Every structure is written in structure tokens, then in C-alpha cells.
């Protein structure tokens, strides 16, 4: 079943979103993560980055490998991502050393010592799956299998990591075609996103995958998802970081 869903997702990356057969819905998170790995394998890709998030400051994390990271400014065609597409402004961390597979878990101090850059990023959130039946939500485990609804990631230029940076609630500007689309109180639901780096390192370690230098880890939205109605330019600016731009054409 995992292999069948991975094959369906691989084809959907090329042809566009498809309906999810009920029998292919993952039964648990372990199955979803296996589908993620198989999808990248079938596409002949390795993880260029990771996305990771949590719904609360103390809540459990979940994530997905990213097949590609685009550099700002980037241009994308919305039509390739289907009807439902969102844009999120995030902070990403660049890993500066290899984190090899080893028996003992990684901790926060060691994770942060391996960070050599921080940047603003725009994630385009989109699913390659449609639920089986009208007006039904897609199963969360199916979303997780589909690289956690990842469409594309655009990264701004990195600056050196500064532990004093206000990661919990940074000042930011978020615009689409010059219109302010930022929430009144932007914040990452995971709280301090640096804690999520540990999840990625240990998730990879447990799956027998080293994390190489240059890996970019984006850590969840500060703005929620903005749903563009058509072409335009998204511009994100997080105080202390270079801006990030994505043009939808």
C-alpha cells in the first residue's frame, strides 16, 4: 500500500492533483514517513531540505523532506499546483556540518552548534491529493505522506546565526502585490522554532539518514497561509533577515 501511494504521488507531481483512493490512506505516521521516502526515491531525488512544524509550543513535531529549494527571487506557475494553494512566511536554518547516523540522540545544544545560517523563506503549500468525495477533508496522515502538503520552498539569503534573534515573535512585513497580508500578531504556533531542528536530526538518525551540510530546514509559518486568487508577487521581510520574493506567473 505504501508503495502504491508513493507511485500515485510521484505521478501527481508531474500530472497534477489526483483523488486519493480510500484503500491507500496511510494507517499510521510510520507509513506516512515511508511513503515520503519512497516518493523521493521514485523521483530520483534526495532531500535538499526539510520542513518541520508543531501546533503548539510543547506539541509534537512532524515534518517532511523537500526535493528542492529555490533561491529568491523565484518564479512559479500556480497552475501546476492545482486549485488550493497557500503561501506562508517562515524562518529557515541552514546546517553547516554533517550530522551522521549514530546510536545516541542529538540534543538542542549540538543542533544549534551546527547551524551556520538563518534566512526568511516562503513555502508554497499545496496538495497532490484530493479527498475521496466532495466536501470531505483529506486525512491528516495522507497530508503527511504527501510531504506534509509541500509544493515549493523559496529561500532568501542567509545571515549568520545569532542566538539573540527574537525567533518567537520577530517583527515582519508580508505583502502580496503591495497589499499587506500579515496577521495582526504574527507568531509561530510551535513557539521557539529552534527546538524543531532536534526533531529533524533525530528523525533522520532513526531512519538511517545523515543530514549533510547545506541542508535547509524551514520551521513553520509565522503568518498562516495566504490564498492568492491569481498571479502576483509575494514579498516577505523579517527584521534582521534579507527579504524573500516569489512571483506567481
Give CA–CA dist 203/59, Å, rounded. 16
Report the pLDDT value the prediction gives residue 132, as an integer from 0 to 100. 67
Report the pLDDT value the prediction gives residue 82, as an integer from 0 to 100. 73
What would the pLDDT profile of 149-159 be if each residue is shown by its tens digit?
A: 999 999 999 99
Instruction: Report yes or no on whether pTM surpasses 0.75.
Output: yes
Give CA–CA dist 123/246, Å, rounded. 9
What would the pLDDT profile of 130-150 be if each residue is shown by its tens digit?
A: 876 655 788 999 999 999 999
Go through the domains of the chain in sequence order and give each one's CATH number.
47-248 (3.90.850.10)
Split at pLDDT 50, 70, 90, the class of 187 is very high
Question: Does 179 score more than 90 pLDDT?
Answer: yes
Split at pLDDT 50, 70, 90, the class of 16 is confident
What are phi and psi for residue 14, nearest 5 degrees? -90, -40
Which among 143, 140, 147, 163 is positioned nearest to 42, based on CA atoms? 147
Mean confidence (pLDDT) of the chain: 95
Split at pLDDT 50, 70, 90, the class of 84 is confident
Split at pLDDT 50, 70, 90, the class of 227 is very high
Give CA–CA dist 243/45, Å, rounded. 28
Question: Does 41 score more than 90 pLDDT?
Answer: yes
Write b or e for each residue in 145-171: b if 16 or more Cβ atoms lie within 10 A of its Cβ, otherwise e: bbbbbbbbbbbbebeebeeebebeebe
Give the chain as a 3 state SS string: CHHHHHHHHHHHHHHCCEECCHHHCCCCHHHHHHHHHHHHHHCCCCCCEEEEEECCCCCCEEEEEECCCEECCEEECHHHHCCCEEEEEEEEEEECCCECCCCCCCCHHHHHHCEEEEEEEEEEEECCEECCCCCCCCCHHHHHHCCCCEEEEEECCCECCCCCCCCCCCCEEEEECCEECCCCCCCCCCCCCCHHHHHHHHHHHHCCCCECCCCEEEEEECCCCECCCCCEEEEEEECCCCCEEEEEC
Mean of pLDDT values over 80-106 = 94
Write b or e for each residue in 210-234: b if 16 or more Cβ atoms lie within 10 A of its Cβ, otherwise e: ebeeebbbbbbbbbbebebeeebbb
Mean of pLDDT values over 177-201 = 96
Give CA–CA dist 209/134, Å, rounded. 39
Report the pLDDT value the prediction gives residue 79, as an integer from 0 to 100. 79
Amino acid at each position: 500500500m505504501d508503495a502504491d501511494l508513493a507511485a500515485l504521488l510521484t505521478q501527481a507531481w508531474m500530472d497534477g492533483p489526483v483523488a486519493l483512493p480510500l484503500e491507500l490512506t496511510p494507517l499510521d505516521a510510520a507509513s506516512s514517513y515511508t511513503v515520503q521516502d519512497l516518493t523521493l526515491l521514485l523521483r530520483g531525488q534526495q532531500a535538499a531540505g526539510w520542513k518541520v512544524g508543531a501546533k503548539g509550543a510543547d506539541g509534537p513535531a512532524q515534518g517532511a523532506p523537500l526535493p528542492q529549494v529555490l533561491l529568491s527571487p523565484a518564479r512559479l506557475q500556480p497552475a501546476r499546483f492545482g486549485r488550493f494553494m497557500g503561501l506562508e512566511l517562515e524562518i529557515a536554518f541552514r546546517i553547516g556540518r554533517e550530522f551522521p547516523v549514530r546510536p545516541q540522540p542529538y540534543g538542542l545544544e549540538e543542533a544549534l552548534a551546527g547551524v551556520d545560517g538563518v534566512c526568511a523563506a516562503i513555502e508554497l503549500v499545496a496538495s497532490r491529493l484530493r479527498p475521496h468525495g466532495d466536501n470531505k477533508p483529506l486525512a491528516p496522515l495522507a497530508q503527511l505522506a504527501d510531504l506534509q502538503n509541500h509544493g515549493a520552498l523559496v529561500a532568501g539569503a542567509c545571515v549568520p546565526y545569532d542566538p539573540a534573534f527574537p525567533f518567537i515573535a520577530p517583527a515582519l512585513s508580508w505583502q502580496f502585490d503591495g497589499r499587506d497580508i500579515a496577521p495582526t500578531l504574527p507568531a509561530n504556533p510551535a513557539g521557539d522554532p529552534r527546538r524543531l531542528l532536534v526533531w529533524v536530526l533525530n528523525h533522520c538518525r532513526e531512519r538511517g539518514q545523515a543530514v549533510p551540510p547545506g541542508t535547509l530546514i524551514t520551521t513553520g509559518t509565522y503568518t498562516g497561509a495566504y490564498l492568492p486568487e491569481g498571479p502576483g508577487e509575494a514579498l516577505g521581510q523579517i527584521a534582521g533577515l534579507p527579504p524573500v520574493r516569489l512571483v506567481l506567473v
